[in-house]
Structure 1
Amino acid sequence: MKLAAIDIGSNAVRLQITRVLEYDKVITFKKLEYVRFPLRLGHDVFSTGRISDYNIDRFFKLMTAYKNLIDLYEIDAFYGCATSAMRESENGNNIIKKVRKKLDLPIQIISGEEEAEMINKVILQGLDNGHYIHIDVGGGSTELNIYENHIKVYSHSFKLGSVRTLEGRDTPDSWKEMRDWVAKYALKKGEKITAVGTGGNINKLFELSRSNSKSKKMSLERLIKTQDVLKNLTFEDRLNKLQLNPDRADVIVPASDIYVAVMRSAKAKNIIVPDVGLKDGINYHMYQTHHPESDKVFVKN
């Protein structure tokens, strides 16, 4: 079985094509193709409230390229999701309708809660019965989820993201709302909490921190040290010395501010970085749709 997932974010648009392998009750999602293009729709939306004609044209070109890859791989199931930028854009719905009509590519604009739920399905595969706060930082929004005993007990979506913050479209009230929510729902007397981080920026922060890749865990102290190094480098230094892509070099510090703020508010000393995201959640969602019994099967990414 071959699956295709498109994740239309505020910073980048991703396509992942996956083959599902089934052996001895273990489901393996093997990546066949992964393409990430930094379209940065959030730059338009958070500044003007709509996607520009220039980026509409680029979006259609990108969707045409992705549709060609999907057709060439002869996939069995497809699901595309658009998140914060398309949600908030006044012309987002019209753009998605045109893509459906012209390219026969059905894409859904999903809520922050739906976005978090898709990622949760993959995150839960790797957690035990401990106390966790999941932090998913995108370009336009941050989704927080709290787990206890392998069950999600609280969740909330905040209008804070790497691109939104870079553009100066975040507000002190948004930061306060997020910190207050974390303090209210994440802190339990006498019980430690561990953070779980998803999103391209935390993956890169983990890589730059030179943490133990086998454990996939990074301390808050190491995260802050890595953040300090980045803050003391110019944009050009991040490009040339660290070899970051331009669309990563400018948003990685604003994103790190969100991860650090949540961890401090939750008093979490460590963060697990499983290197999964919405695209993986979409794949698992599609697999479950075709195999409802898959809740009973361990999924290995």
Structure 2
Amino acid sequence: MTRVAAIDCGTNTIRLLVADLVPGQGGPTLAPLARENEIVRLGQDVDRTGRLDDAALARTLAVVEDYAARVRELAADRVRFVATSATRDAENRAVFIDGVRERLGIEPEVVSGDEEARLSFTGALSGAGADPGVARLVVDLGGGSTELVLGTAAPEAAVSMDTGSVRVTERYLADGVTPATEAAARAHVRALLDLAGRSVPVERADELVGLAGTITTVTAHALGLREFDAEAIDGARLSIEDTLASCEAVLHSTASERESWGYLRPGRRDVIAAGALVWSEVVTRAVERTAEAGAALTTTTTSLHDILDGIALSLADRS
């Protein structure tokens, strides 16, 4: 049996998955041994400066060093490190790449938005109960980018939008949510969705699946959870009305309310309003487009299987 280690380094969070690849008739599945994540905010101010901040680099590379030790401890046979939006956008990304190589002993990959989307779709499809015959619109809402992927058994159309919880916070909501800043942020997301619709026929979606921290937080809020509960969140189906109501409540929540939510980690509290805004716009657009096509999206589905699982599964094809 092959043991793999996948690391996903995004704008806000860096995560590790170590798992055994289990052969199966429909392809390999994952038997996880360890899942770890840390909020490091690698993308701090990248949208404004075009560079990775020195302090953010130090925070992230310290976690990479810890992950490298964990990978060695668990004796992974194959390792893949994927960096996404913040690293793609940074002119000094070579410093980060060199630092990862030095600590992990492999070449990190700064993947394109299209590859990020493909990996997210593969990961989402690996979740228990996923029906490969359904036209699924998978949304991976990150800190710096948001991927929309449409497909059934495999991706058929994909686009990466330069928007996410950190980027929208820094551009529009850093000083709080007001009617004016909210309107500006929504206009930004809607314009990007207009462009995305040229590449991804959202109206063909039978199911809307959301991935990553913003969407799991909105789901936990809608479910009335006190703490993060993976079993309750993974595969949870919410009505469109409940999803949008939760987005609205999170967007306009107070600091004390966010502090009271046991499922919301401190490093995400300052950007969760922006993330909820982006998710609400994506959901609204998907509902509008499918309705125009004579269909109806009535629910959203949340998956804890995402790009990290996709990275791990991609190692099945690597010798």
Smaller-chain TM-score bracket? 0.7 to 0.9
Q: CA deviation at 1:180?
A: 5.0
Q: TM-score, normalised by structure 2?
A: 0.80
Query: 1:298 is matched with which residue?
Result: none
Q: CA deviation at 1:128?
A: 3.6
Query: 2:150 is matched with which residue?
Result: 146
Using the TM superposition, name which of 173-182 and 106-115 deviates more: 173-182
Query: 1:252 is matched with which residue?
Result: 272
Identity fraction in percent:
25
Q: CA deviation at 1:187?
A: 5.2
Shift in CA distance, 121/74, structure 1 to aligned 2, threshold 3 Å:
same
Match for 1:263 among 283, 290, 298?
283
Deviations 1:180-225 (A, max 9, x none): 533884354xx76321111122122222211875852112111122
Deviations 1:112-166 (A, max 9, x none): 101111122233342342332211111100111122x545332111101110011
1:12 aligned partner, one-letter code: T
Match for 1:157 among 150, 157, 160?
160
Query: 1:93 is matched with which residue?
Result: 94
Using the TM superposition, name which of 192-201 and 70-79 deviates more: 192-201
1:205 aligns with 2:234: no
Query: 2:46 is matched with which residue?
Result: 45
Query: 2:192 is matched with which residue?
Result: 177
Q: CA deviation at 1:38?
A: 0.9
Q: CA deviation at 1:101?
A: 3.8
Q: 1:142·1:161 contact (CA, 8 Å) conserved in 2? A: yes
1:167 aligned partner, one-letter code: E
Secondary structure of residue in 1 paired with 2:157: strand
Partner Cα separation in structure 2 for residue 109 and residue 187 of structure 1: 27
Query: 1:273 is matched with which residue?
Result: 302
Aligned residues: CA RMSD = 2.6
Partner Cα separation in structure 1 for residue 52 and residue 235 of structure 2: 41
2:163 aligned partner, one-letter code: L
Q: 2:45·2:53 contact (CA, 8 Å) conserved in 1? A: yes
Partner Cα separation in structure 2 for residue 2 and residue 163 of structure 1: 33
Query: 2:136 is matched with which residue?
Result: 132
Partner Cα separation in structure 2 for residue 113 and residue 187 of structure 1: 16
Match for 2:169 among 166, 186, 208?
166
Q: CA deviation at 1:47?
A: 2.7
Consecutive unaligned residues in structure 2, runs of 5 or more: 173-184, 225-231, 288-296
1:210 aligned partner, one-letter code: L
Q: CA deviation at 1:242?
A: 4.2
Using the TM superposition, name which of 225-234 and 85-94 deviates more: 225-234
Moved over 6 A (4+): 23-26
Shift in CA distance, 94/243, structure 1 to aligned 2, threshold 3 Å:
closer
Q: CA deviation at 1:231?
A: 3.3
Secondary structure of residue in 2 paired with 1:50: coil
Shift in CA distance, 56/192, structure 1 to aligned 2, threshold 3 Å:
closer
Partner Cα separation in structure 1 for residue 234 and residue 145 of structure 2: 29
Q: 1:201·1:255 contact (CA, 8 Å) conserved in 2? A: yes
Shift in CA distance, 162/231, structure 1 to aligned 2, threshold 3 Å:
closer
Deviations 1:234-265 (A, max 9, x none): 12321124452112222222112222212211
Consecutive unaligned residues in structure 1, runs of 5 or more: 291-301
Secondary structure of residue in 1 paired with 2:44: helix
Secondary structure of residue in 1 paired with 2:48: helix
